[in-house]
Amino acid sequence: MLLNVRLESLTYVMFTGLVQSLSEVADVIVEPPGMRLVIRESQLAAMAKVGDSIALNGCCLTVVRIDGEQLAFQAGAETLSRTNLGELKPGDFVNVEQSLRVGDPIGGHCVMGHIDAVGTVDARRDSGEWCTMWFRAPATQLAQMASKGSVAVDGVSLTLVDIEAGRFSVALIPHTLSATTLGRRKTGDKVNIETDVLAKYVQAHLRSCDT
């Protein structure tokens, strides 16, 4: 039996780390053991549909309701324990990116929307409109990083500059600072970290070779 599939209609649950909008949190509703996040984004609401996968601060979530210019998402206990989404409140902003579709250009790197760890801003060094930012991260994730490699912080695709014991740095251009949450981050703030999926596969392969 032949299977007739329209490839252009398929959706990969994958992202590029190129933030499409900086959207305001309209409401946070407690729904034990999780919560419902409502964001205000008129352009996205006009084109999205219930069931779509959209990344908020790099975390892949499912649209559960669209009401005018607002989109609602549900985050469970596991998601809240492993990301910074549980700290959001109305008036905060989140980085938003729709999942890739077949044929879409990949301008950042392959981001899966699965947060590996929550890190913290360790230092921020501004130089005019530019900024070098350091983040604290667990050793497990630091082992998957290399200078000039890729990392996603709050869903933003970034190039690693330096990796030291317990932390790593990135250089942020003026556009990234103005178009994403990173421009608002200060020392001590929590951020979502996802390491490069290729680094994870290489690490897993090397471990298997040692056994």
Predicted local confidence at residue 157, as pLDDT:
96
Residue 13 neighbours by CB under 8 Å, 6+ apart: 53, 60, 99, 112, 113
CATH architecture of structural domain 117-210: Beta Barrel (2.40)
Specify the CATH number of the domain 12-98: 2.40.30.20
Q: Give the model confidence (pLDDT) of 47-65 as tens digits.
A: 999 999 999 999 999 999 9
Tokens of 79: 């998601």
Task: Write down the pTM of the prediction.
Answer: 0.89
pLDDT at 1 exceeding the cut of 70: no
Predicted local confidence at residue 4, as pLDDT:
39
Residue 15 neighbours by CB under 8 Å, 6+ apart: 55, 58, 60, 97, 99, 100, 108, 111, 112, 113, 155
pLDDT at 78 exceeding the cut of 90: yes
Higher pLDDT, 200 or 9: 200
The CA distances from residue 209 to 128, 202, 206, in Å, are 48, 11, 5
10 Å Cβ neighbour count for 113? Answer: 22
208 pLDDT band (50/70/90 cuts)? confident
Predicted local confidence at residue 209, as pLDDT:
81
Domain regions of the chain by residue span: 12-98, 117-210
Strand partners, 63: 73
State the sign of the Cα–Cα–Cα–Cα dihedral 57, 29, 98, 101. Answer: positive
Higher pLDDT, 28 or 5: 28
Is 117-210 the same fold as 12-98? Answer: yes
pLDDT at 73 exceeding the cut of 90: yes
